[in-house]
């Protein structure tokens, strides 16, 4: 029987409130910086006047600085996030696209919120002016997979490709390489956050208040003491380059981590919100993953979590971690969402890259939260700490997805 190829991570690209590029993102995490700020200016005057929220906006970028040979009209911001994220990952991994077999270079994208801006523009015109006035060209931009075409055309990617909705694209890329369908797969997640989305969630009472009980403006860190609100939004894109180990070795690529395996399961407590989760389901999920992957929990050195605010972590991930590792030392716990906000489809890949870089650089990035508040006082540092991870060290990277899925990736330090 032919042995399936090992899959390795050789690079990544990140667009987030922490900067443009993987290294700026990583260095900001190491410095304990947060992109969460107060947003109090709006471009939808009919919906907002003096509203203020906590939000982690994406850093500014210019499409043509990263993707050449483009002529107007340029793709909408939805696609631009994916195009720039892909370029950053290609460059970081040192991929020479002209030297690769195009049919062996795959592209898997994931988005949760899809092409909202185009859909808003199309529907507004439809409702106000009628069907005869809407543009077929605008309609083509409302389809989710328009971003897939924009990215594939920009970089001439001709291998297996697909766009997902609220999944983890790395799982699909891993399977393509293991099954011999591609040598390289670029996996990405991205979401454009619209002001209408932010305001809708503000009016539903989902966002932490930027003011205290006396009406005084406060910081995000100060707001956490109330344990009020269920989400802080962030905008971004994150891409990872996966390769067969043989292909990476052949081109002498630097390897950040080996992707060992993954586990996907649906959460029975999920209804309609990303953080509605069951700690019991997570324990079952992790236990099964360890069993069929033949991973001893005591050999897991790092757990990169997918919870959002401290009380999500404490009520969901903490009990499962404490139960699974009841007879051994808890793994170090890291989490990026206190710094980036909830970036939906970008979050899983940001977390994967952060986990791989923690192993590489022998650090555990801080959560930005008080360890006692997340319920892991000895395992979840608020600020970045030094920790030695030897060759072969294993990390679990956990992610949550709209629709109820939970995904855990196991990665190993080279």
Q: Which domains does the chain carry?
A: 7-250 (3.40.47.10), 261-412 (3.40.47.10)
Task: Tell me the two tokens of residue 195.
Answer: 């002001």
What was the pLDDT predicted at 1?
59
Does the model's pTM come out above 0.85?
yes
CB 312 within 8 A of CB 231: no
Task: Tell me the two tokens of residue 374.
Answer: 């997340």
pLDDT in tens, 256-314: 999 999 999 999 999 878 999 999 999 999 999 999 999 999 999 999 999 999 999 99
pLDDT in tens, 303-335: 999 999 999 999 999 999 999 999 889 999 999
pLDDT in tens, 151-193: 999 999 999 999 999 999 999 999 999 999 999 999 999 999 9
């Amino acid at each position: 029987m032919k042995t399936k190829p090992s899959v390795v991570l050789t690079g990544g690209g990140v667009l987030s409130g922490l900067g443009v590029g993987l290294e700026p993102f990583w260095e900001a995490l190491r410095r304990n910086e947060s992109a969460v700020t107060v947003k109090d200016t709006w471009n939808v005057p009919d919906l907002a006047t003096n509203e203020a929220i906590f939000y982690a906006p994406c850093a500014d970028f210019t499409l043509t600085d990263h993707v050449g040979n483009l002529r107007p009209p340029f793709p909408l911001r939805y696609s631009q996030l994916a195009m720039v994220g892909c370029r950053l990952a290609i460059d970081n991994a040192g991929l020479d696209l002209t030297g690769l077999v195009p049919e062996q270079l795959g592209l898997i994208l994931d988005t949760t919120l899809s092409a909202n801006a185009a859909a808003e523009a199309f529907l507004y015109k439809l409702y106000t002016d009628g069907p005869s006035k809407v543009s077929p060209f605008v309609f083509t931009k409302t389809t989710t997979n328009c971003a897939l075409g924009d990215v594939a055309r920009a970089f001439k990617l001709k291998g297996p490709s697909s766009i997902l909705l609220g999944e983890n694209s790395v799982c699909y890329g891993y399977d393509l390489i293991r099954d011999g369908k591609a040598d390289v797969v670029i996996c990405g997640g991205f979401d454009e956050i619209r002001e209408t989305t932010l305001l809708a969630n503000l009016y539903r009472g989902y966002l932490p208040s930027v003011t205290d009980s006396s009406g005084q403006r406060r910081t995000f860190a100060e707001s956490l003491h109330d344990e009020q609100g269920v989400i802080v939004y962030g905008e971004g894109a994150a891409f990872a380059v996966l390769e067969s180990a043989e292909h990476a070795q052949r081109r002498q690529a630097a390897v950040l981590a080996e992707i060992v395996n993954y586990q996907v399961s649906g959460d029975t407590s999920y209804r309609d919100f990303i953080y509605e989760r069951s700690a019991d389901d997570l324990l079952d999920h992790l236990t099964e993953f360890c069993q069929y992957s033949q991973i001893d929990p005591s050999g897991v050195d790092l757990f990169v979590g997918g919870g959002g605010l401290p009380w999500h972590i404490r009520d969901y991930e903490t009990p499962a971690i404490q139960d699974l590792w009841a007879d051994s030392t808890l793994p170090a716990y890291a989490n990026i969402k206190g710094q980036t906000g909830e970036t939906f489809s970008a979050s899983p890949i940001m977390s994967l890259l952060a986990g791989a870089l923690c192993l590489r650089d022998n650090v555990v990035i801080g959560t930005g939260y008080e360890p006692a508040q997340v319920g892991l006082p000895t395992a979840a540092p608020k600020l970045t700490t030094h920790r030695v991870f030897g060759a072969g060290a294993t990390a679990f990277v956990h992610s949550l997805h709209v629709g109820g899925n939970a995904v855990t990736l196991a990665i190993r330090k080279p």
